[in-house]
Amino acid sequence: MHTIKLLVDCRNDLGEGPIWDAREQRVYWVDSTSAEIWSCRADGSDVRTWYVPNYVGSMALRERGGAVLALASGFALYDFDTQEVTSVADPFGPGSEYRFNDGKVDRAGRFFAGSMGYDFDPLDVTVARRPARDGSLYRLDPDLTMHEIDTGFVCANAPCWSPDDRTFYCGDSEHNVIWAYDYDIAAGAVSNKREFLSDRRFSRAVDGATVDSEGYLWNAKVLGGRIIRHAPDGSIDRSIEVPVRNVTSITFGGPNLDVLYFTSMGRPMRGIPPRQAGAGGLFAIHGLGVTGIPEPRFAG
């Protein structure tokens, strides 16, 4: 029997990208559109906040200390002590209609992040009113060189890897689909793209994801108030209703990697109760009987 607890009532505008730091035994996450980084201990205590120059789609911790950020202005390195930001690569340029969104590190220490359009609105069902998008998935190597990995995304989301590193997953909230790719861990290359799962219902969209130690993919269903566990063949293994409709991203953490942490969106949206209790908070689910995989650090 699992339990769900509101761990930090932080009321984030757009909480995203939680990661577990095994060294410090802390959770880190971002408030994407408020340009903030948050952190707390496993039990929600000792909450800390840092500020960055602009929208932060995602982040990862670095082997050398600090973090790598996927900002609206491109990839950057961040020093928590000085709050210094060092830009390293920008695929967008001034006046771009795109910014970075979800990102994660592979087990060779490379940082992957996908882009999205600034005006992406999952509640606008009139597709004809949406501008055509051709967002991309990028890879930042430890030597700080950037590479375009795939194209055709409207709102890239859910990058993660199978436990054996042979499969890479990445989705698009616009198309409500997660694709699987063959993955070459030595080269950081993807191939053989195919549909892993799709959910055409407008009532929910794919958002952040993680893979557990058994190779099952967990996906946050923003707008749907659920976290769903998918088997390696894409079928639904388990569906968990959560107390906020806009659950955004997930990660396993805690001393035994058996706690599922999830972020949420607090900003008002059409059709979402404006005062939903806990919206924008960080939550923890205990008692799932499943463990995660340690999140690697960026090697650059």
SS3 47: coil
Quick check: is 43 catalytic? no
Residue tagged active-site, from 102, 106, 207, 212: 207
Tell me which amino acid residue 278 is. G
Residue 187 structure tokens? 């080269």
SS3 63: coil
Task: For residue 117, count other CB atoms closer than 10 A to its CB.
Answer: 21
Query: What are the distances in angstroms from CA 85 to CA 29, 82, 88, 125, 228?
Result: 17, 9, 10, 37, 36
The set of residues, in sequence order, having a beta carbon less than 8 Å from that of 84 and lying 6+ positions away, is 78
HSE, CB side, 13 Å, CA atoms: give it for residue 216: 17
Residue 179 structure tokens? 């694709």
Active site residues: 207
